[in-house]
Amino acid sequence: MTREVRLTSPERVLWPEERITKGDLFEYYAAVAPALVPHLRDRPFTMKRYPHGIHGEVFFQKQAPRGMPDWIPTRRFTTHPRKGATGGRAGEPGTSSLRQAQAPASRLVDFPLLNSREAVQWMVQMNCIDMNAWYSRVDKPERPDFVLFDLDPPETADGFAQAVQVAHIVRGGLRELALEGYVKTSGAGGIHVLVPITRRSTFADTHEFAERLSKLLEERHPGVLTTEWLKAKRRGVFVDYHQNGAGKTIASAYSVRPKPGAPVSTPLRWEELMPDLDFGALTMPVVLERVARDGDLFEPVLRGGQALGPALRTLRAA
């Protein structure tokens, strides 16, 4: 079967300040695909489209669009509106309260599956910048592959450095429970710590685990990290354990983000995660050099293998 993606408007500027074009993005994803695609394979994908660049309006789309090539597979799932959704955050479309009130309780959605380099490139043709997919795969959609600790730093000059400190605190907490976490920049100012697990735990389990560990670490380090939902009441780095849930999405490793400078969500060695790290310097050319030199530092996340049950029982008993 011929898989050819014809790129239209390659000269379209997506990052005006840096003059980075749709063609530049297309070429990056073609080059990084061997490292990227394994992290997307068989995971329902949400399209986040920027037809007018990063400063223009963004469109979220779950349903596979008409005209999508037949060599991009889909899988149908029932989706449910989220209670209290008032808008989208990065990688997670929301629903306005008015629209939610008028919408049906659920609907069937045919999600694209990005299982090839060409499928990723086709999404670039559709003006997608970052690649957002589920935490679980289609063969066991109710069983996540990992727990996510999403670290959202305060909007201060040293916010990222604070997030670095908290990431290491999270790693220490995981190691006390005989679990290993893997770290990447979110590319949007924060940090993601992923804990690969065997696919026996439910989303309720991963949510409970992330909540219990986050609140334990909050008690140990008051003012350094917080689980406070209301932004005005936060002190320190927000650890968003709520991101562990069915149907949630995450910007994949090696995903370019629609932020100034076109930073990439970049896997790191823990020893690289230092307070003076410039996450904005992790751009497309830099990431391609890193992958050529180091391979996929996030490959261990694909292996899973860590049982969550014993660690969760320990936290329940604490």
264-289: pLDDT as tens digits: 999 999 999 999 999 999 999 999 99
Give the residue numbers spanning the domain of 141: 13-317
For the stretch 300-305, contacts whose Cβ atoms lie closer than 8 Å and that sit 24 or more positions apart, written own/partner, are 300/180, 300/182, 300/196, 301/39, 301/145, 301/146, 301/182, 301/194, 301/196, 301/253, 302/38, 302/39, 302/196, 303/196, 304/145, 304/146, 304/196, 304/197, 304/198, 304/199, 305/196, 305/197, 305/198
pLDDT at residue 80, as a whole number: 80
The verdict on residue 1 lying in a domain is no
Q: Name the more confident of 2 and 11.
A: 11
SS3 labels along the chain: CCCCCCCCCCCCEEECCCCEEHHHHHHHHHHHHHHHHHHHCCCEEEEEECCCCCCCCCEEECCCCCCCCCCCCEEEEEECCCCCCCCCECCECCCCHHHHHHCCCCEEEEEEECCCHHHHHHHHHCCECCCEEECCCCCCCCCCCEEEEEEECCCCCCHHHHHHHHHHHHHHHHHHCCCCCEEEECCCCCEEEEEECCCCCCHHHHHHHHHHHHHHHHHHCECCEECCCCHHHCCCEEECHHHCCCCCEEECCCCECCCCCCCECCEECHHHCCCCCCHHHCCHHHHHHHHHHHCCCCHHHHHCCCCCHHHHHHHHHC
Across 110-119, 124-133, 224-233, least confident range? 224-233
The verdict on residue 273 lying in a domain is yes
pLDDT tens by residue, 245-264: 999 999 999 999 999 999 99
Question: What pTM value is reported for the model?
Answer: 0.91
The verdict on residue 4 lying in a domain is no
Answer whether residue 93 shows pLDDT above 70.
Answer: no
Contact criterion met (CB below 8 Å) for 74 and 111: yes
- Mean pLDDT value across residues 174-197: 98
- Which CATH number fits the domain that encloses residue 234? 3.90.920.10
pLDDT tens by residue, 10-63: 999 999 999 999 999 999 999 999 999 999 999 999 999 999 999 999 999 999
The verdict on residue 82 lying in a domain is yes
What CA–CA distance (Å, rounded) separates 120 from 80? 26
pLDDT at residue 136, as a whole number: 98
pLDDT at residue 101, as a whole number: 36
pLDDT at residue 83, as a whole number: 55
The verdict on residue 37 lying in a domain is yes
Tokens of 235: 């002190």
The number of folded domains in the chain is 1
pLDDT at residue 2, as a whole number: 64
Answer whether residue 99 shows pLDDT above 70.
Answer: no
Across 29-33, 171-175, 230-234, 306-310, least confident range? 230-234
The verdict on residue 3 lying in a domain is no
* Percentage with pLDDT > 90 across the chain: 88
- Which amino acid is present at 169? I
The verdict on residue 8 lying in a domain is no
The verdict on residue 2 lying in a domain is no
Answer whether residue 94 shows pLDDT above 90.
Answer: no
Contact criterion met (CB below 8 Å) for 313 and 209: no
Answer whether residue 84 shows pLDDT above 50.
Answer: no
pLDDT at residue 104, as a whole number: 54
